[in-house]
Every structure is written in structure tokens, then in C-alpha cells.
Amino acid sequence: MSVPEHAERTQEDSTSRVILSTSDIDRALSRIAHEILESNRGSENLVLLGIARRGYPLAQRLAARLEQIDAGFHAATATGQLDITMYRDDLRRNPARTPQPTLIPESGIDGRTVVLVDDVLCSGRTIRAALDALVDVGRPDVVRLAVLVDRGHRELPIRADHVGKNLPTSSREKVRVLLRETDPQPRATGHEDCVVIDAPVTSDADVARSPGRAASSAARGRDGECA
């Protein structure tokens, strides 16, 4: 699958456009790594936990950058994965989810600074579930949040401490983060990692014929894509 550099019409009657390319994501992660070290005043007691699925490879990439910047940080012993499947508040509506393993560093998280890492922040419900899951693992001293994209539409009072890109969107748009580790389909050079927005194409005539259906479709899209 090749992701278009500019907007184009897809078979599902929507347009797709690349918002962040591979180099954009690399720069965003490098900036976030520096921000994490600055806010923590170094790497002491720092742990990165990526929220499964795409948060984990992003956490690994951040950890590699932290290790390059600060010799006191060891990525192999301070990086893990947090699965939130059983803590989601939509589990009864969407039961067909495959749990991923929760991987906690051997030193644990008690009394440490934990940075949760995720790909997209929207309603805040995923992060709420992550905080519940974290409580069952240990008691960190501080919990911070780093996300690649913040698209707004918050439903809970949750804010990211480190953001790669603030991306205003409509509730009908779908934001996709495609990474080499989780999405191995072939993509155009420079878009091996990318962030894509899919926007449904709705004509004025469609809205005039069935405004109720359009609103219902928008609501379903938000429930399905905003987490």
C-alpha cells in the first residue's frame, strides 16, 4: 500500500492525506526526548511505558534517543509495554480485542517517574484505562504522558505533557499512525512511518437528502476512532 503525499480520493469515498512523514516523526520524537529529560531534570528513576499497540514502538524509539542523549539512561532496563484491554470502558461494546502482554522493567515502577507513551490522544478514555492498569502494576512517584499526535475532542480532563503535533480535526475524520513495527505494508519512500488523516467525502446533496444519517455516521466514527 502506498500512502499518497497529497490528498486523493479512496475507494471508500474519502480523502487521505499525509500529515507527518517519517522525517517529521523522527524530529517530533527527538524533541519529546529532550523535553522528557528537561522536565525530569535528567534520566534518574525514569521509566517509559508504551501503551499497546503503537505506543510501545514509539516508547522504544524514545528510549533509544534518551540513551543517546543521556549516558545514564539504559533503554533495555527502563522501557516496557502496558496493555489496557481489560480496563477499557468500551469492552462490552467491542469485545473482540486481542490482549497484548504487559512488560514491566525488572526494577518495577514504584517510586519512579513513569512516562506513558501513546500514538494519538483524543477523548482521553485510553489514558484513563492506562492509569487504572498502572495502579495494578505499582505506585509510581510521578506519571506523565507523551503522545505523537493530539487531535482534540477530549471527553475526560486529561492533558498530555509532551506532544509531537497538535492536530485540529473534525469528529468525522480518522487519524491513522502507520509505523514500520506494527504496519509493515509497503509505503512510499519517506512515508515508511507516517500519520494520515482520512476524511469522508459527503456532498451537499447527500446531507440534504439524509441529515440524520450523516450525523449518526459522524457519531459512530467518533466512537470507533477517538480514544
* 204/150 Cα distance (integer angstroms): 29
The predicted pLDDT at position 94 comes to: 78
For the cut 50, the answer to whether the pLDDT of residue 164 exceeds it is yes
Tens digit of each residue's pLDDT (9 = 90 or more) over 22-66: 999 999 999 999 999 999 999 999 999 999 999 999 999 999 999
Q: Which three cell numbers stand for residue 79?
A: 522501557
What's CA 74's distance to the chain center, in Å? Answer: 23
Cβ atoms of 22 and 192 within 8 Å: the answer is: yes
Q: Residue 208 has what pLDDT?
A: 52
| pLDDT value, residue 201 | 80
For the stretch 82-141, pLDDT in tens is 999 999 998 888 776 789 999 999 999 999 999 999 999 999 999 999 999 999 999 999
CA dihedral of 120, 124, 125, 126, whole degrees rounded to 10: 30
* Among 12-16, 154-158, 167-171, 179-183, the least confident range: 12-16
- DSSP SS3 for 43: coil
User: Residue 126's pLDDT is what?
Assistant: 96
**Would you say 54 and 119 are in contact if contact means Cβ atoms under 8 Å apart?**
yes
Is residue 189 pLDDT above 60, yes or no? yes
Which pLDDT band, with edges at 50, 70 and 90, does 71 fall under?
A: very high
Confidence of residue 153 (pLDDT cuts 50, 70, 90): very high
* Boundaries of every domain in the chain: 23-91+99-169
What is the rounded CA–CA span in Å between residue 101 and residue 166?
30
The fold for domain 23-91+99-169 equals Rossmann fold (3.40.50)
